[in-house]
A and B are shown apart, each in its own frame.
Chain A
Amino acid sequence: MAPADPFSLDLTWTQVSPRLAAARLTVAAAWLVPLLVVAVLPPVLSGIAWLWVLPAVVVLLALWLLWLVPRQVGALRYAERDDDLLIRRGIMFRSLVVVPYGRMQFVDVKAGPIDRAMGIARVQLHTASPSSDAWIAGLPPAEAARLRERLASRGEARLAGL
């Protein structure tokens, strides 16, 4: 990344588990593979050569995702400060969210079947604002539990109404 990354704020950022990329790619495969099968059928059945463009597009999409998703997951990081939690996301469209512990109304920890198989969980922070889009996916369950406890205890200590 750029030598002076303005989004880093000179903090030590924790990356999420690379297993998140595996989980996301699994989900992508779950619809890409049937799509590929459907795309292969027309050229095979009709024998028209240019129809191979269809499966080629699907394969290209798959390759693109294979390249993109690990990068996206690599860009998802978080940092805990004394009073707030910072979450960074995105490569093209970058964002950095700062959530003060005292503003948190509740914390969700979620894990779907694929997440559980991969051993990851997703922590979502809710403030009174619907626009604070603060979540961290791809946390190992132990880390998710630790983070939840920490957020809850810090939030309680600093809770300041609305």
Chain B
Amino acid sequence: MSVPAPVRPEGVGEDGYVWRRMHPVTPLLRGWKIIAAVLIIASTQFTGDIRGAARLLGGDGWVAVLGGFVLVALVAVAWSFVSWRVTRYAVTDEAVHLRQGIVFRQQRQARLDRLQAIDVVQPLLARLVGLSELRLEVAGGAGSRVSLAFLRETEADALRAELLALAAGLRRPGTPGERTTSAAAPGAARPLDQAPSWFPGAAAEPAAGMAGSSGERLEGAAQDGSEPSSSGVTSWAPYGSQPASSSGTPAAYGAQPASSADASGIPAADGSLAGPPAGAVPSYADARYARPYPAATTRPGAVTEPTFATAPEHLVYELPMPRLLGSIILSGGTVWFALFIVAIVVMISVSAPFEAIYSLVPMAFALFSFFWQRINGSATFRAATSPDGIRLRHGLTETRLQTLPPGRVQAVRLHQPLLWRGKDWWRVVVNVAGYAGDREKQGTETVLHPVATRDEALLALWLVLPDLGVDDPRAAVQAGLVGLGEDGGYTAAPRRSRWVDPIGWRRHGVLVTRRALLLRSGRFWRRLDVVPHERTQSLALEQGPLQRQLDVASVAAHSVHGPVVPRIEHLDTAVAVALLEEQAERARHARRTAAPEQWMRSR
């Protein structure tokens, strides 16, 4: 495309979508990033030659440096401005469209029924000016996310609520019936997972169309009463609707959710719903529609139809700062830090030239950034439940508010670094299909709890799997966390496997529940992987020559890309084969009865 497309006035495009622009301050924020990058490159060029840099800045050189800097800044901002001019997004009932690119133009479409997570990210600078970035994760692998940056805070929150509601299967209120049906009817637009084979569509379609009234919706759900646990509303009800059991279910895991009524930092849509969880779900639809998004804050020229209020949420746990600092002190980075101090002391004491310390600068920088990332990523970490799924909020300078809709977590790992054993702290990480893309960000995105006590770890697991499928979930998880051998009903690796794993063999164990597969391993770095049956992608049985001599085999349950790689080593071959066969059958069965992708939709 050599000729830039004519800049269309805001509003309806030729394709019938309402195209909107990002906030006009975006180019400045984006440009700042480029400038910072240039500064960092320049400074790393000079760290090796501080005298040279000083000499350059001492003379008339500083004029040239400043001039160059201003030039770079201008080019960066100009580029960002042009890129902002051509970037547009549009939201329909089925998808979010994003157009961008100056030289290589791109139009990306993210289907809402494939939505895996929505993040609202606020880098420090954007936060200062009240803007945020909205990221939609779809399960398309690397680089498949749709990033809307930057939007006004209120706008981003409203858009997030709207997208979640649409993804949940609700429809915009006041949408003309024929538009709803015409939008939903074409076969191509229908998600494949709603194929008639498992979608008794007749009941759901009117229910979705009448979403404005919660009574209608619940009636639609009730029509499906033969499968009470598989309807979207009821299956996730433990998250907030059952007044007695919402605190009772975590109690079954043996942990109480944090008692503080509501997140002070999280804007709840409706104060009356923000506190105790009682009745959150039944009135969810009301909450959604009772407060149409105020027209005054919508961008001029944008759609004026009322959108959705943010779903109510209630806090489950938060991470106290002292524990975070403690966990960082008890981490591998501290060991390096101690070595670093020793190195400095040794260097000074052997009276090496003082400048030799400069050679330690990169290492100090690396250590500092390690500690900073740990603190910055996990500080103020809090998890909440809402009808839209799990809400995670964390970050010190750059805050991130994640929403993981129900059923999007593919696997959970609870693990314990060696030094955390004394404190009995655990780190809980998850696999989410959308977060697969960039590895460097995985550290913060895929964390469900950075430093959990035993009880909080159980609670975090409960967030993902409210029903673990055993009568005593607490005992089952406890045995998985610290147990050995046959503790807690686990099937353990046989004694002969000590020849291939002399230290860890007693920890290798597997427990199959009605809902999930629990895989236990690690003697010093304890680990428990939990994979819901309906989330296993494929299964593998593996056996090396030594294992064959010992008549043992390993089983791997393949999950989406992420920090959790579920695998159990050295089971008795017959047990492993049986596990593989039964697991394939269980996974098949679980998929059939799994909750729908559009979680507010009855099936």
Contacts and interface: CB of A to CB of B under 8 A. Distances in A.
Interface string B571-603: 001100100110010011001101001000000
A22 B558 CA distance: 32
Nearest to B594: A160
A156 B592 CA distance: 14
B591 A102 contact: yes
Contacts of B556: 131
Contacts of A160: 193, 534, 591-592, 594
A118 to B, nearest CB: 28
B537 A128 contact: yes
Interface string B525-562: 00000000011011111111100100001001011110
A146 B580 CA distance: 27
Contact of A156 (B192, B558, B565, B573): B192
B162 to A, nearest CB: 22
A20 B388 CA distance: 51
Given A95-B542, A103-B537, A132-B540, A83 B588 contact: yes
Contacts of A133: 540
Contacts of B574: 6
Given A6-B574, A94-B548, A129 B537 contact: yes
Interface in A99-129: 99-100, 102-103, 127-129
Contacts, number: 97
A95 B544 CA distance: 9
Interface in A62-104: 83-84, 92-100, 102-103
B195 A159 contact: yes
B588 A96 contact: no
A93 B547 CA distance: 9
B493 interface: no
B577 A7 contact: yes
Nearest to A131: B558
Given A159-B192, A159-B193, A162-B410, A98 B591 contact: no
A130 to B, nearest CB: 5
Nearest to A99: B538
B597 A161 contact: yes
Given A100-B587, A130-B561, A162-B139, A95 B541 contact: yes
B148 interface: no
Contacts of B560: 128-130, 162
Contact of A157 (B197, B537, B581, B587): B197
B433 interface: yes
A134 interface: yes
A98 B580 contact: yes
A9 interface: yes
A128 B534 contact: no
Contact of A132 (B410, B544, B558): B558
Contacts of A93: 542-545
B571 to A, nearest CB: 11
Given A161-B193, A162-B410, A129 B581 contact: no
B565 A7 contact: no
A159 B587 CA distance: 13
Contacts of A97: 538-541
B561 A94 contact: no
Main SS at interface, chain B: mixed
A135 B514 CA distance: 31
Given A92-B545, A127-B538, A160-B591, A98 B584 contact: yes
Q: Which of A133, A157, A159 has the most CB of B within 10 A?
A: A159
A132 to B, nearest CB: 4
A128 B195 CA distance: 20
Given A83-B588, A161-B193, A94 B542 contact: yes
B553 A98 contact: no
Contacts of A161: 114, 193, 597
A95 to B, nearest CB: 5
A129 B114 CA distance: 16
A87 B77 CA distance: 55
A108 B559 CA distance: 20
A103 B544 contact: no
B559 A129 contact: yes
Nearest to A160: B591
Nearest to B573: A6
Nearest to A88: B541
A29 to B, nearest CB: 28
Given A93-B543, A127-B558, A131-B565, A6 B577 contact: yes
Contacts of B410: 162
A6 B571 CA distance: 13
Interface in A24-42: none
Given A129-B559, A159-B192, A100 B588 contact: yes
Contact of A162 (B433, B553, B565): B433
B441 to A, nearest CB: 17
B538 A129 contact: yes
B21 to A, nearest CB: 32
A103 B587 CA distance: 10
Nearest to A101: B588
Interface in B285-302: none
A127 B537 contact: yes
Given A93-B544, A132-B558, A161-B597, A98 B539 contact: yes
A70 B139 CA distance: 39
B544 A92 contact: yes
A5 to B, nearest CB: 10
Contacts of B539: 97-98
B66 to A, nearest CB: 48
A9 B581 contact: yes
Contacts of B544: 92-93
A128 B139 contact: yes
Contacts of A162: 116, 139, 408, 410, 433, 535, 560
A132 B587 CA distance: 15
A139 B592 CA distance: 32
Nearest to B592: A160
Contact of A6 (B553, B558, B584): B553
Contacts of B541: 7, 95-97
B224 to A, nearest CB: 18
Given A129-B561, A159-B192, 11 more contacts: A9-B577, A95-B540, A95-B542, A97-B539, A97-B540, A98-B538, A98-B540, A100-B587, A127-B538, A132-B540, A162-B116
15 contacts: A7-B543, A9-B581, A83-B584, A93-B544, A94-B542, A95-B543, A96-B542, A98-B580, A129-B537, A129-B538, A132-B538, A132-B558, A160-B193, A160-B534, A162-B410
Interface of A: 6-7, 9, 83-84, 92-100, 102-103, 127-134, 156-157, 159-162
